[in-house]
């Protein structure tokens, strides 16, 4: 199972590290290895959230996520995206931006830093909406029960996630942005929110259509044992697009933070690309093993980690936050949720009622 799921990741890692040594020597080898570990640590919570979405797709679209999706992630987000950002913010053409990245990495890094407020606002608001929509929904299991009970009640108010997100954006725009970047931060933040609403809304719309079609077919066949094979067609396509935008939001901090290790965009693309391969392999592994169903609080921990990352991205509009802090916070939430899930499973299997066991565990977190 491990070899089948992680085989391509292992192979790409070996090829990538060998290539980095042949092209750039030991210094390039070390930079690519460090960037790979950085990407995995920053995006592990991304894998958990991806798994909650991927398990709803049929096998074809799961394979698309591992093949076409990884090409978009590596070449699109880790290589082309930084070049486009520099081209737009610096008023350069794409070719001139590539030449700048190759011929003058320091100037390219400076241009990326200039674009950071817009990147942080867009990514921060997109991730903020993911977090808010999760905690404002009433769920069967509650991890941080005292908090999640309150947010579930408040979530009954229509539009609450959008209202909270807009308040957060206004606070970020007036607290962390300068006079020169305030308008950019506000516009980018609104675009991040609109992007989430558009992609998520289209996904939900087509998912609903597929479910209605499946129900109609089941009624016509008068069969109660029809197998559910996962979402397909337009519904799965928009879920696929949602996953790619989600991956893009998670990659913002990794791409920007990578310049603290190297200025070479090709080393960055290779190192972060290797890390992205492992994130996708971990996602598929979680789906195939049914890990999310077995560990009931893992999804909660991932979304709380997303909320923390969203806040940190907004803070980085003005202040520098070390990548190790971002990575440790995300991994910390995941590990705490995993530990809580293990305790829950032991108590539940020991005979305690589900509600009682859940309250006991939630109270200890």
The predicted pLDDT at position 214 comes to: 58
Residue 44 in contact with residue 301, Cβ under 8 Å? no
Residue 15 in contact with residue 277, Cβ under 8 Å? no
Output the pTM of the full model.
Answer: 0.71
pLDDT above 70 coverage of the chain, percent: 81
pLDDT over 70 at 17, yes or no: yes
The structure tokens listed for 299 are 């999804």
Question: 306-339: per-residue pLDDT in tens?
Answer: 888 889 889 988 888 876 777 778 778 888 988 9
The structure tokens listed for 266 are 């090709």
Find where tokens 């005979």 sit. Answer: 351
Q: Domain limits of the chain?
A: 2-221+228-364
Alpha-carbon span 99 to 64, nearest angstrom: 32
Alpha-carbon span 330 to 55, nearest angstrom: 22
Question: 73-125: per-residue pLDDT in tens?
Answer: 777 777 787 777 778 766 778 888 888 888 888 888 788 788 888 888 888 89
Task: Check residue 122 and report its DSSP letter.
Answer: H
What residues have CB less than 8 Å from 290, skipping those under 6 apart? Answer: none
Question: 164-201: per-residue pLDDT in tens?
Answer: 999 999 999 999 888 888 998 999 899 989 988 887 77
What residues have CB less than 8 Å from 227, skipping those under 6 apart? Answer: none
């Amino acid at each position: 199972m491990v070899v089948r799921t992680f085989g391509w990741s292992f192979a790409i890692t070996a090829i990538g590290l060998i290539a980095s040594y042949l092209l750039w020597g030991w210094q390039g080898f070390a930079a690519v290895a460090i960037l790979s570990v950085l990407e995995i640590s920053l995006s592990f919570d991304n894998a958990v959230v991806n798994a909650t979405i991927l398990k709803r797709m049929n096998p074809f679209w799961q394979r698309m996520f591992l093949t076409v999706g990884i090409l978009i992630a590596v070449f699109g987000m880790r290589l082309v995206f930084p070049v486009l950002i520099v081209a737009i913010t610096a008023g350069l053409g794409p070719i001139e931006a590539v030449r700048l990245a190759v011929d003058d990495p320091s100037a390219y890094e400076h241009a990326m830093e200039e674009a950071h407020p817009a990147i942080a606002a867009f990514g921060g608001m997109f991730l903020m909406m993911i977090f808010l929509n999760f905690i404002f929904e009433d769920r069967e299991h509650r991890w941080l029960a005292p908090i999640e009970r309150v947010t579930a009640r408040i979530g009954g108010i229509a539009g609450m996630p959008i209202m909270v997100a807009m308040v957060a954006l206004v606070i970020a725009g007036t607290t962390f942005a300068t006079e020169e970047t305030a308008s950019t931060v506000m516009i980018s933040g609104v675009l991040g929110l609109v992007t989430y609403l558009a992609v998520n809304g289209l996904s939900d719309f087509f998912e609903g259509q597929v479910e209605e079609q499946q129900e109609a077919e089941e009624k016509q066949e008068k069969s109660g044992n029809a197998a559910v094979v996962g979402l397909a067609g337009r519904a799965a396509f928009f879920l696929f697009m949602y996953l790619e935008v989600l991956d893009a939001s998670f990659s913002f901090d990794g791409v920007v933070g990578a310049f603290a290790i190297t200025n070479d965009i090709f080393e960055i693309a290779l190192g972060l690309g290797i890390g992205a391969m492992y994130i996708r392999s971990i996602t598929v592994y979680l789906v195939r093993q049914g890990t999310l169903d077995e560990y009931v609080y893992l999804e909660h921990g991932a979304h709380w980690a997303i909320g923390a990352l969203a806040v940190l991205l907004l803070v980085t509009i003005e202040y520098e936050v070390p990548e190790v802090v971002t990575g440790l916070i995300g991994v910390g939430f995941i590990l705490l949720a995993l530990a809580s899930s293990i305790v829950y499973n032991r108590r539940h299997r020991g005979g305690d009622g589900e509600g009682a066991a859940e309250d006991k565990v939630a109270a200890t977190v």
